[in-house]
Amino acid sequence: MSTKTKRIIPDALSKIFEENWKNPMKKPYLEKIVLNIGVGLGGEELEKAATVLETITGKKAVKTLSKTNIKEFNLRKGRPIGTKVTIRGQNAEKLLKKLLIVNNNKILRKSFDNYGNFGFGITEHISIPGIEYDNMIGIWGLDCVGRIVRPGMRVRFRRKARTKVPKHHYLSREETQYFLIQKFGVEIVEKLDLEYI
């Protein structure tokens, strides 16, 4: 373990997590991974960004639209400004393992929230294993955001009989970090090395 890495999960806390996870309704899993490229404008550049995401994931990318008007950037509400792809299930796990290799299996400690979400950036998409450079497309950076949940979270989003989920059913920042350490061998660090930024 490097000097930049802190032990952020005390032994007592990890024992509590392991004990909780024996209950099948408390055991967390990776729900989804969302890859996003913000382009800022539509047209040919947006199509190139969508092609990059489709090459990485094998799924069709969708366009994201501007939610507000920003005169300084010539943005109008409803115009396409980016593209994203959502991957779920076992495909999400396989993809996350590939994406983590780019940053040497390291994620910043500040990249987690108290609801099971985490994220990291990739500066060059060609650094992802299996992706080759195409001079017609160029090099693109992208954001990767993941969500780890417990079984039963669907009740918050389903169409019929939707209900609230109590806060204790969400994963805390420490529990999300512990899950990634155990499942994916992630190293939680305070600062990334310059070559990985």
What tokens were used for 65? 């639209």
Cα(154)–Cα(194) distance, integer angstroms: 40
Whether the predicted pLDDT of 113 surpasses 50: yes
Lowest mean pLDDT among 40-49, 58-67, 114-123, 142-151: 40-49
What was the pLDDT predicted at 39?
86
Q: Are strands 187-189 and 142-149 parallel, antiparallel or unpaired?
A: unpaired
Alpha helices in the chain (DSSP H): 11-20, 44-57, 89-102, 173-184
pLDDT value, residue 7: 58
Instruction: Decide if 133 contacts 20 (C-beta within 8 A).
Output: no
Say if residue 49's pLDDT is above 80.
yes
Indicate the average pLDDT of the chain.
87
Residue 194 has pLDDT above 80, yes or no: no
Q: What is the pLDDT of residue 6?
A: 44
pLDDT at res. 173? 92
pTM: 0.84
- CA torsion through residues 132, 127, 187, 165, sign: negative
User: Do residues 116 and 148 lie in contact, with contact meaning Cβ atoms separated by under 8 Å?
Assistant: yes
List CB contacts of 26: < 8 A, sequence separation 6 or more.
20, 150
Mean pLDDT of 36-63: 89
How many whole angstroms separate alpha carbon 111 and alpha carbon 132? Answer: 28
Q: Which domains does the chain have, with CATH numbers?
A: 28-187 (3.30.1440.10)
- Residue 177 and residue 135: Cα distance in Å, rounded? 38
CA–chain centroid gap for 189, Å, is 17
Which class for 55: exposed (0-12), middle (13-18), buried (19 or more C-beta within 10 A)? middle
Q: What is the mean pLDDT of residues 160-172?
A: 90
Please write the tens of the pLDDT for every residue from 13-47. Answer: 888 888 888 989 999 999 999 999 988 777 888 89
- What is the share, in percent, of the chain residues with pLDDT greater than 90? 51
- In this prediction, residue 1 carries a pLDDT of 42
Phi, psi of 132 (to 5 degrees): -105, 155
Instruction: Name the β-bridge partners of 83.
Output: 37, 63
Q: What Rg do the C-alpha atoms of the chain give, in angstroms?
A: 19
Q: 């992630």: which residue's tokens?
A: 186
Do residues 180 and 159 make contact, with C-beta atoms less than 8 angstroms apart?
no
- Rounded CA gap, 148 and 166, in Å? 16
